[in-house]
Amino acid sequence: MTRLRLRRRMYTSAPTRFSTVALTALLSVPALAAAGPASAASPSDSTRLLVMPSELTDGQGCTGPSDKKAAALPWAQQSLGLARTWAVTQGGGVTVAVVDTGVSQKAPALHGRVTSVGSGGTDCVGHGTFVAGLIAAGPAKGVRFAGTAPGARLIGVRGTDERGAATGATVAAGINSAVDAGADVIEVSPAVVQRSGELRAAVSRAVKKDVLIVAAAVPDAPQRTSSEAPVPRDYWPAAEPEVLSVVDIDAGGTRPDDALLPRSADMAAPGDGVVGIGPGGKGHFIGSGASLAAAYVAGTAALVRSMHPGLSAQATAEVLVATAYPADVPRVDPYAAVTSVRGGAALPQVATGSGPVHLPSDGDAGRATGRAVALAAGGAGVALLAAWGAVIVPRGRARRWRAPAR
């Protein structure tokens, strides 16, 4: 086997609202290509939904049920091409732990598929249940929303206090509990500013147990104390080298102007203005943040591990990154991820040269997935990549993951 060097993408302190031209070419194409007869809901279609908090403020009561349902197909769900992916696998046989505010066992969309550790079966904030729904909510009559891996099982783990505040100690305890409970994939929503020995040890323990950790690259809620632009910095456990770090984007491929910035991230996924479930009732909420993007990647990891049960956690991470939509921060592609490894075949290669590049998954029954990108030297593709690079520039980083034999 040859050593694989996965590149984390390093952010600069430039504004987070990216070049419109670059984003249109590199991020919006997949959403357009996935469009079918039914149009997806735009974020404006969901403005009537209640907003899901990531942490409760002083005096704020527990999040109650929503009485409003999202009728249209959520934009994130359609842009990821999940309906096509579900024809291949729905994540059965895989267990995903959610380290967050807990996962309510009263949520109808998760009925019968949630076990919990300690107090992890209750969720006053509602955020952990929202994240769990993005990972594995089941379909319901008259509702078009569903989770990424609706056949997967879930473990609710409290990685915060009851009101959503997290520390390195609470997150480390959550990761350890998830490992002990038998998780195959762990989604970690909190992103803390201080690295700690116990958090590092918890990540190392998960790696030794062949558990893949997918974590938010930054905290969900901006923690701004001035009007100055946010400065890129590391957040934990996402910054640990063995953790798959995920940043959020919206339907237009941008992030809010005041969004916190990581120094680097492995992948991008929908995370701003996305629809999800609450801790009770059949209604829906709308939420934003990198933890929601991490949920989509964790759900995709469950699909991959279900489709290819022999893959290790590190090999699963390789597949996710290698099959992502080509961009400076690769965007997760569930269908390509689950169909890229057949009988030990090599991962798809992106060739350089003149003309568009198509990955193997583009050819299903003549239906393109929009994964072509122009890479002609001196052509539009180079110009678009350069525009993106003005905001996010690549940084090589040695990882412990290894590529499959070529």
- Return the domain boundaries, the chain: 7-396
pLDDT given for residue 47 in this prediction: 53
- Model confidence at 141, pLDDT cuts 50, 70, 90, reads confident
Rounded Cα gap, residues 299 and 32, in angstroms:
22
Q: Tokens at residue 399, please?
A: 């990882």
pLDDT tens by residue, 318-342: 999 999 998 878 999 999 999 987 5
Can you give the pLDDT at residue 291?
98
One-letter identity of residue 283: G
- What's the whole-number mean pLDDT along residues 297-302? 98
Maximum average pLDDT range among 24-33, 102-111, 339-348: 102-111
Distance CA 373, CA 355 (A): 9
Please tell me the predicted confidence (pLDDT) of residue 368.
Answer: 25
- What integer pLDDT is reported at residue 12 of this predicted model? 52
Which of these, 359, 361, 354, 341, lies nearest to 405 by C-alpha position? 341
User: In the prediction, which pLDDT does 10 show?
Assistant: 65
Least confident of 105-109, 271-275, 301-305, 395-399: 395-399
Buried/exposed 76-98: b ≥16 CB within 10 Å, e otherwise: bbbbbbbbbbbeebbbeebbbbb
pLDDT at 139 over 50: yes
| pLDDT above 90 as % of the chain | 65
Q: For residue 327, what pLDDT is reported?
A: 81
Query: For residue 230, what pLDDT is reported?
Result: 81
Tens-place pLDDT, residues 361-391: 323 322 222 222 222 222 333 233 333 333 3
Rounded average pLDDT over 28-56? 58
Confidence of residue 223 (pLDDT cuts 50, 70, 90): low
Helices (H) and strands (E) in the chain, counts: 11, 17
Question: Does pLDDT of 392 surpass 80?
Answer: no
What is the C-alpha to C-alpha distance for residues 334 and 317, in angstroms, rounded to an integer?
Answer: 12
The helix (run of H) or strand (run of E) holding residue 95 is strand 95-100
Which parts of 188-312 fold into alpha helices (H)? 197-208, 290-307
Q: What is the pLDDT averaged over residues 19-42?
A: 35
Query: Which structure tokens are listed for 10?
Result: 């390093």
Mean pLDDT of the chain: 78
Identify the CA nearest to 380 among candidates 33, 20, 25, 17.
Answer: 25
Q: What is the mean pLDDT of residues 299-308?
A: 98
Residue 216 pLDDT exceeds 60: yes
Residue 311's pLDDT is 96
Q: Is residue 61's pLDDT more than 70? A: yes
Q: Which amino acid is at 94?
A: V
**pLDDT category, 254, cuts 50, 70, 90?**
confident
How far apart, in Å, are the Cα atoms of 58 and each of 54, 55, 61, 120, 226?
Answer: 13, 10, 9, 22, 22
- Single out the residue of 314, 297, 302 nearest to residue 207, CA to CA: 314
> Domain 7-396 falls in which CATH fold?
Rossmann fold (3.40.50)
Question: Which pLDDT score, from 0 to 100, does residue 226 have?
Answer: 62
Residue type, 39: S
pLDDT tens column, 186-211:
999 999 999 999 999 999 999 999 99
Q: For residue 356, what pLDDT band results from cuts at 50, 70 and 90?
A: very low
What digits encode the pLDDT tens for the residues 37-50? Answer: 344 555 545 558 99
In which element (H, E) is residue 272 found?
A: strand 272-277
Give the closest residue to 149 by CA, choosing from 157, 158, 138: 138
Band (pLDDT 50/70/90 cuts) for residue 228 is: confident
Does residue 63 have a pLDDT over 60?
yes
